[in-house]
A and B are shown apart, each in its own frame.
Chain A
Amino acid sequence: MANSIKVLSDKCVGCGQCAGACPFGAISTLERPEQFKLAVIDLNKCAYCGICSQTCKFSAIELKKDASQSSVDKSEYRGVWVYAEQRRGEIAGVVYELLNEGKRLAKQLGTTLSAVLIGDGIKSKAQDLINRGADKVYVCDDPIFIEFQDDPYTSILTQLIKKEKPEIILMGATNIGRSFSSRVAARVRTGLTADCTSLEIDVETRNLQQTRPAFGGNIMATILTPQHRPQMSTVRRKVFKEAKVEEGRKGEIIDCKVDVATLVNRTKFLGFIKDASSNVNVGDADIIVSGGRGVGKSEGFKLLEELAELLGGAVGASRAAVDSDWIPYSRQIGQTGKTVAPKVYIACGISGQIQHTVGMSSSDIIIAINKDASCPMMQTATYALEGDLYEIIPNIAKEIKTIRCND
């Protein structure tokens, strides 16, 4: 058995739609004597994603996929879980957002929402999670969990999954979540989808439709884990709205037995050094002034900082600016940086590729400043200012000062 894909030469008219649609650049069109052109697929590049056959208006591309097999009985798996990540006793902000989304998914599935809390002396946090919507909280409390280490955290979460059999697990796409979710998924042999930007349920199959940006292009993919359970997803901060607090909400707190003898640990935690610059959390700002490739030099960010200070906001950046070392990574917004949702997002010299926009598109007001009026950011911004940011920004600052003086 193998996957196969072929172009039916009698149906293909060589229109080239498929070549334009292929995310992998695997299709080209060939001239045929006295006939239409013919699409040709380079099998070395093809990933059998099927977008070409979806695109083809002539049903000229035939795709046969091997179905992935799994021996799990899906009907045994019920319930939605949120991994309640904590660091030094503090619940990560993303957890409250996941509880909100998890609650919605659980309701659609007619099942319960549970949180899994792993740490040392953290049982007191369980009620917080119930107040935010968890019906049950599994607490794994042991000194071995005082600091995050992949080995023991992977072992305990895997043990709990095998015992309780949830159908969905949501985890924050934090450094901790990303580090051990993949290990857990590999150990239970199930699918894991990173950085989901939307989650929906197909009620009939109970499949989770996980949407995320794909293939480094300007496209989104919806991904399923149809045969395996649990279905695992990571989600970044600020993608979903935080669950509201409902004081005194009733829920069940379950103390999980931790058998340390079954937890392998091959690493040793030696210490933690706090980074003072991480105090400025761009994700928490109401106004963000963000710079991209168009800023052109690190000195340009001084201008952005001045404007941010004037507005009481923070400075962000696109990956292009961070990769050019104009500003530290902690300021990066987008798929490989932070997700933000401020009241006002000012994109200075940022063209607006999807890798960036997935990190800021839920901002209330987007202002673009760019020389290129045709770039995606300018096309989609609430207010698009065409021109040189080095001329426009100082003028904005001046105008703001004038208005304030007159007040």
Chain B
Amino acid sequence: MDIIVCIKQVPNTTNVQIDHETGRLKRDGVESIINPFDEYAVEEGVRIKEKIGAKVTVITMGPPQAEAALREAIAKGADEGVLVSDRAFGGADTLATSYALSTAIKSLGKFDMVICGKQASDGDTAQVGPGIAEMLDIPHVAYVKKAEAADDKTIKVERMMEDGYDLIESALPVLLTVVKEINNPRVASLKGKMAAKKAVIKILDAATIGADALKIGLNGSPTQVMKIFTPPQRTGGEKFTGEAREVAAALVKRLSDLSLI
């Protein structure tokens, strides 16, 4: 079985500081990591490989430094890394990104399954996974919390919904976007780290994958950023400081005055 896992390198924003003057993130010294949701996608690919045998190829679109994310995925059990990188891809929205990745995946040859994280932690759109499936002309199931390959033609999955979960069977090839409930990603083994160090990352540019120049980068992006702004802050209200007992009493009095208690 050939499995493609799509990942994205994102800034690690779990511990970032906000610059109080500009109200923006302080980016200095922020490390780059694999999008946390994609860690589950990599792990699921590797688990299927361990269970029924498969080749797991991780693919990412990004600047040359995104290679580090691919090596990290290889350290965690993926077999090969593919970097889709070209200045011409710059400024892509979700449609142009879906096009570039689907075109790159097609150029790699046969595949049975594509796995993505449910969304990236920086953009939070959840649009690229289903977009890739559409452009590859294969079915997709989003929000997958369990996947079981029945045979080499079908797969059964559990799809998380707001009120429970749906059981869905899909023909292969299929694209799945996975949620964190699906597994517990492993830490890289020493052997994996060695493999990651030695791995040769395949680099694909727009010409190599035969991408249509009108469908990539800003050219291929129907959406455009009109403006970016810091949202107006809700103006602060009353501040209570002092002994816990006093501030608690002061608050409860306010709420009681407003008939909320």
Contacts and interface: CB of A to CB of B under 8 A. Distances in A.
Nearest to A226: B224
Given A67-B219, A191-B223, 16 more contacts: A3-B218, A181-B127, A183-B131, A191-B93, A194-B124, A216-B10, A218-B23, A224-B223, A266-B139, A266-B171, A268-B169, A269-B167, A379-B233, A380-B233, A386-B247, A387-B247
Contacts of A403: 252, 256, 261
Tell me whether chain A's interface is mostly helix, strand or loop, or mixed: mixed
A218 B249 contact: no
A28 B95 CA distance: 30
B24 to A, nearest CB: 5
B251 A367 contact: yes
A275 B239 contact: no
A86 B252 CA distance: 41
B255 to A, nearest CB: 7
| Most chain B C-beta atoms within 10 Å of own C-beta, residue among A3, A149, A217, A272 | A217
Interface stretch (B50-58, B154-162, B195-203): B154-162
A377 to B, nearest CB: 10
B147 to A, nearest CB: 13
A159 interface: no
A392 B248 contact: yes
Contacts of B222: 68, 70, 189-191, 225, 227-228
Residue of B126, B237, B248 contacting most chain A CB atoms (<10 Å): B248
Interface residues of B, number: 106
A267 B169 contact: yes
B238 A373 contact: no
Interface string A227-263: 1100000000000000000000000000000000000
A46 interface: yes
A150 B236 CA distance: 45
B88 A2 contact: yes
Interface in A1-45: 1-3, 20-25, 43-45
B72 to A, nearest CB: 19
A385 B218 contact: no
B98 interface: yes
B228 A220 contact: yes
Contacts of A344: 255, 260
Interface string A322-337: 0100000100000110
Given A222-B225, A380-B236, A400-B261, A353 B18 contact: yes
A186 B135 contact: yes
Contacts of A75: none
A111 B104 CA distance: 42
Contacts of B221: 68, 191
Contacts of B19: 20
Contacts of A192: 94-95, 127, 223
A267 B241 contact: no
6 contacts: A20-B19, A187-B134, A386-B247, A387-B241, A391-B244, A403-B261
Contact of A387 (B91, B127, B180, B244): B244
In this complex, the interface size class of chain A, counting residues with CB under 8 Å from chain B, is 35 or more
Interface in A376-397: 376, 378-388, 391-393, 395-396
A305 B10 CA distance: 34
A276 to B, nearest CB: 9
A216 B244 contact: no
Given A384-B239, A385-B240, A269 B127 contact: no
B109 interface: no
A365 interface: yes
A193 to B, nearest CB: 6
A384 B160 contact: no
Contact of B165 (A22, A275, A355): A275
A214 B228 contact: yes
A379 to B, nearest CB: 5
A338 B30 CA distance: 27
Interface string B112-148: 0000000101111111111101110011111100000
Nearest to B166: A272
A267 B170 contact: yes
A57 interface: no
A329 B170 contact: no
Nearest to A320: B14
A372 B32 CA distance: 27
Contact of B247 (A2, A181, A228, A392): A392
B62 to A, nearest CB: 9
A66 interface: yes
Contacts of A223: 223-226
Contact of B233 (A228, A311, A376): A376
A178 interface: yes
The 3 A-B pairs of least Cβ separation, nearest first, read: A191-B222, A25-B27, A395-B248
Contact of B125 (A187, A195, A278): A195
Contacts of B138: 266
Given A68-B219, A398-B248, A183 B133 contact: yes
Contact of B95 (A185, A216, A220, A323): A185
B11 interface: yes
A278 B162 contact: yes
